């Protein structure tokens, strides 16, 4: 079997995740903090149409599955649970590389409605990489049991992306989730995320770097996100982008 | 670190503290912040492994195990 994942910055593409016997319309990533119900969402949506294995070269397990909705074939990739995407661990590196370099048609961030605040950090990080993002607000049944009421419309407006309330274990909200995934993946719903604004001095530095990056990078990564990583001195992403650029150059001969 | 300041690593099991600072830089700092250890966060020391390390903490609705070297750079004000 051909490797479906090559580490850090290698030329992974969406096609690497599509089984040979299927023509896929969309490839979708499923991200989220640990224990938020990602695998439950994954199982509910894909049923028995699954393939599990490891990310080649990594000890992280990897699952991808398939479903059909509104005439579209959708491949779902269950990413490892992480609190962050800044490559502090192999799991974070796998999730980050998938979103950055395989560029899924959409990324679903599954969040725990009972501790929303801690989950939003990851949502904001994904949004800095790609606007093709939606929130699956899972465990709403648990939240209701605890007497928590979540202003779903307000949250969606603040973030600038769709928020779909679900209780994946009982299948609640799954149809709306699939609708929303298709809308974003097709580009029919162009989201307008509200970027996090940093201190003035930082925004100045970001702006200057973005202008510079525009001249040297054409790989489609968000310039703002790369600028932030450079300012943070994140050597893993610098290496990953470097590897990726080299690979692209080699392929183009 | 000033005399009388507490770190997460010194928080007695069963007690809570409020984060007042993270004395780390670079990726360690970033990782701790990503776990939810930002100033103002209330943290509870839940249990310590039989070997004395790591310790499980309740942080913003999740239980997270931290090694002593990480807990030692998170300054807290004990809540008792
Ligand atoms: N009540 C309720 N429980 C849920 C829901 N979704 C998932 N769970 C339960 O939450 C637990 C964790 O679910 P998983 O799907 O394994 O979570 P995960 O995000 O894949 O976890 P990791 O892969 O370990 O990060 C399981 O016991 C699920 O049955 C839900 O909507 N409501
Ligand atoms: Mg899982």
- pLDDT, residue A218, reads 65
The pLDDT tens digits for A78-123 are 999 999 988 677 888 888 888 988 889 999 999 999 999 999 999 9
Q: Does A3 map to a domain? A: no
User: Is residue A232 over pLDDT 50?
Assistant: yes
pLDDT higher at A64 or A186: A186
Nearest to A90 by CA among A51, A125, A58: A58
Structural domain total, chain B: 1
Count of beta carbons in the 10 Å neighbourhood of residue B70? 22
- pLDDT, residue A10, reads 55
For ligand 1, pick from A32, A34, A35 the residue to mutate: most ligand atoms within 8 Å of CB: A35
Q: Does A53 map to a domain? A: yes
Nearest to A30 by CA among A135, A101, A117, A115: A135
**Which residue segment(s) compose the domain that B51 sits in?**
6-73
- pLDDT, residue A5, reads 32
Asked if A94 and A179 sit in the same domain, the reply is yes
- pLDDT, residue B35, reads 92
Looking at ligand 1, which atom is closest to the CA of residue A41? 15
**Which residue segment(s) compose the domain that A215 sits in?**
200-252
The upper half-sphere exposure of residue A78, i.e. CA atoms within 13 Å in the direction of its Cβ, equals: 25
Nearest CA to ligand 1 atom 29: A169
> In the predicted model, what is the mean pLDDT of chain A?
87
Element (H, E) at A174: helix A174-186
The pLDDT tens digits for B25-37 are 887 888 899 999 9
Question: A234, B27: Cβ pair inside 8 Å?
Answer: yes
When pLDDT is averaged across residues A25-39 and rounded to a whole number, the result is 95
Structural domain total, chain A: 2
Its ipTM equals: 0.81
Looking at ligand 1, which atom is closest to the CA of residue A35? 21
CA–CA gap between residue A203 and residue A39 (Å, rounded): 37
Q: Does B35 map to a domain? A: yes
Looking at chain A from residue 196 to 225, which residues have their Cβ under 8 Å from any Cβ of chain B? Answer: none
When pLDDT is averaged across residues A45-60 and rounded to a whole number, the result is 75
Give the least confident one: A78-92, A230-244, B58-72: A230-244
The pLDDT tens digits for A206-215 are 999 999 988 8
CA dihedral A219, A222, A224, A230 (to 10 degrees): -50
Identify which of B30, B34, B60 has the shortest CB distance to residue A115.
Answer: B60
Asked if A126 and A245 sit in the same domain, the reply is no
The alpha carbon of residue B29 and the mean position of all alpha carbons in its chain are separated, in whole angstroms, by 12
Query: Domain containing B61 — which CATH number?
Result: 2.30.30.90
Asked if A60 and A92 sit in the same domain, the reply is yes
Give the least confident one: A121-130, A140-149, A235-244, B50-59: A235-244
Asked if A70 and A141 sit in the same domain, the reply is yes
Residue A2 pLDDT level (bands cut at 50, 70, 90):
very low
- pLDDT, residue A176, reads 98
Residue A9 pLDDT level (bands cut at 50, 70, 90):
low
pTM across the whole model: 0.89
- pLDDT, residue A8, reads 58
Q: Does B42 map to a domain? A: yes
pLDDT higher at A83 or A11: A83
Dihedral sign of CA atoms A202, A204, A208, A213 in order: positive
CA–CA gap between residue A163 and residue A179 (Å, rounded): 12
* Ligand 1 contact via A180 beta carbon (within 6 Å): no
User: Is residue A22 over pLDDT 80?
Assistant: no
User: Is residue A23 over pLDDT 90?
Assistant: no
The pLDDT tens digits for B4-57 are 578 999 999 999 999 999 999 887 888 899 999 999 999 999 999 998 899 999
User: Is residue A66 over pLDDT 50?
Assistant: yes
Q: Does B80 map to a domain? A: no
When pLDDT is averaged across residues A116-135 and rounded to a whole number, the result is 95
């Amino acid at each position: 079997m051909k490797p479906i994942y090559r580490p850090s910055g290698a030329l992974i593409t969406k096609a690497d995740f599509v089984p040979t016997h299927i023509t896929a319309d969309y490839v979708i990533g499923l991200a989220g903090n640990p224990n938020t119900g990602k695998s439950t969402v994954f199982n509910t949506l894909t049923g028995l149409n699954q393939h599990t294995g490891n990310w080649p070269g990594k000890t992280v397990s990897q699952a991808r599955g398939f479903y059909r909705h509104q005439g579209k074939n959708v491949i779902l990739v269950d990413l490892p649970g992480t609190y962050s995407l800044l490559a502090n661990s192999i799991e974070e590196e796998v999730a980050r590389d998938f979103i950055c370099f395989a560029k899924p048609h959409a990324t679903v961030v599954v969040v725990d409605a009972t501790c929303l605040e801690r989950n939003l950090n990851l949502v904001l990080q994904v949004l800095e990489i790609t606007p093709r993002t939606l929130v699956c607000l899972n465990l709403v049944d648990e939240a209701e049991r605890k007497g928590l009421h979540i202003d779903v419309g307000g949250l969606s407006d603040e973030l600038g992306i769709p928020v779909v309330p679900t209780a994946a274990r009982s299948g609640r909200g799954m149809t709306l989730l699939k609708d929303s995934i298709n809308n974003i993946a097709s580009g029919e719903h162009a989201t307008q995320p509200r970027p996090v604004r940093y201190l003035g001095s930082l925004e100045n530095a970001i702006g200057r770097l973005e202008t510079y990056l525009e001249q040297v990078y054409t790989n489609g990564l968000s310039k703002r996100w790369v600028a932030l990583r450079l300012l943070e001195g994140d050597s893993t992403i610098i290496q990953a982008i470097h590897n990726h650029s080299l690979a692209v150059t080699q392929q183009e001969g | 670190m000033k005399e009388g300041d507490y770190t997460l690593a010194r928080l007695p099991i069963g007690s809570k503290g409020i984060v007042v600072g993270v004395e780390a830089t670079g990726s360690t700092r970033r990782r701790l912040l990503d776990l939810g250890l930002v100033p103002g966060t209330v943290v509870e020391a839940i249990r310590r492994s039989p070997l004395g390390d790591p310790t499980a903490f309740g942080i913003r609705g999740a239980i997270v195990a931290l090694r002593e070297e990480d807990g030692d750079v998170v300054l807290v004000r004990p809540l008792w």
